[in-house]
């Protein structure tokens, strides 16, 4: 097994460029002050929010192999279209079977960030409920795609996460949207469908990679937009600091 064959962009260059463009637009809006306090309501610094999205984009190229399914007829070296999105199937040489991998940008980074936001904001109960709701919807809509693995309509995780987060807590809608959008997609679309991978002929089945990465990344952007529009945790004022008052 050559590890270099596991490293590839999950989307076609044209569609990946769209995600890069959305990231650049978000950077401009934050720097101009239009989304000045959005990152504070999410629960991380402005630099941390931008670094998170940039790391997710860059990390989407890298996959960490964790298991391998028995050898079968492999489909490789082509693009597969699903709900209008173009996903890349890498070219494989002497590939013994489907490799199950964890995508760094679409699974590892969002998973760790979600745990951080859960602990920081104490959202264990509401977070679990939100994740359950998104998991159910994503599992229902996820489809095994021959040659690709598991895929889901691109806008579903972000839209469902936004609705669920606002309904459960307007105050913490932004971090909840990121948490349930990321974890719900990973669990509902990828982890609960691992048993469906055998026989699809996919050279690599990447958890959080092709098929689900775009939805998870868009959830991260949507969380920032929700933060800008919702009444999330406010920044303590100078008066609060002098009087020793606590925000609730």
Task: For 222-235, give the DSSP string.
Answer: HHHHHHHHS--SPP
Separation CA 81–CA 77 (nearest Å): 14
For position 8, what pLDDT does the model report? 53
Asked whether residue 242 is assigned to any structural domain, the reply reads no
Asked whether residue 161 is assigned to any structural domain, the reply reads yes
For position 221, what pLDDT does the model report? 82
For position 13, what pLDDT does the model report? 65
| Cross-strand pairs, 68 | 99
Token readout for 22 is 């959305």
Asked whether residue 82 is assigned to any structural domain, the reply reads yes
Which regions in the chain score pLDDT beneath 70? Answer: 1-16, 30-37, 69-97, 147-149, 199-202, 210-211, 231-248
For position 119, what pLDDT does the model report? 93
| Continuous H helices in the chain | 13-31, 38-42, 46-59, 109-121, 124-141, 156-168, 173-185, 213-229, 238-243
Asked whether residue 248 is assigned to any structural domain, the reply reads no
Q: What is the pTM of this model?
A: 0.76
Q: Cα angle at 70 between 68 and 74, to 5 degrees? A: 90
- Its domain, for residue 37, covers 3-234
Number of domains observed in the structure of the chain? 1
Asked whether residue 240 is assigned to any structural domain, the reply reads no
């Amino acid at each position: 097994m050559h590890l270099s064959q596991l490293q590839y962009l999950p989307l076609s260059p044209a569609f990946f460029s769209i995600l890069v463009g959305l990231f650049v637009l978000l950077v401009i809006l934050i720097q101009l002050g239009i989304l000045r306090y959005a990152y504070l309501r999410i629960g991380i610094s402005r630099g941390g929010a931008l670094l998170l999205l940039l790391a997710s984009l860059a990390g989407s190229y890298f996959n960490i192999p964790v298991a391998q399914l028995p050898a079968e007829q492999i489909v490789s070296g082509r693009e597969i279209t699903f709900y209008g999105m173009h996903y890349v199937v890498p070219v494989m040489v002497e590939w013994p079977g489907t490799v199950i991998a964890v995508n760094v940008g679409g699974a590892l980074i969002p998973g760790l960030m979600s745990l951080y936001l859960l602990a920081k904001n104490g959202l264990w109960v509401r977070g679990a409920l939100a994740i359950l709701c998104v998991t159910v919807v994503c599992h229902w809509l996820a489809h095994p795609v021959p040659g690709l693995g598991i895929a889901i309509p691109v806008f579903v995780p972000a839209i469902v996460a936004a609705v669920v987060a606002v309904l459960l807590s307007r105050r913490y809608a932004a971090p909840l949207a990121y948490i349930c959008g990321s974890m719900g997609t990973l669990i509902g679309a990828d982890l609960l469908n691992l048993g469906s991978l055998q026989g699809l002929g996919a050279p690599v089945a990447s958890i959080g990679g092709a098929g689900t990465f775009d939805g998870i990344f868009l959830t991260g952007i949507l969380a920032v937009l929700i933060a800008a529009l919702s009444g999330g945790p406010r920044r303590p004022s100078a008066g609060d600091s002098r009087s020793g008052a606590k925000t609730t």
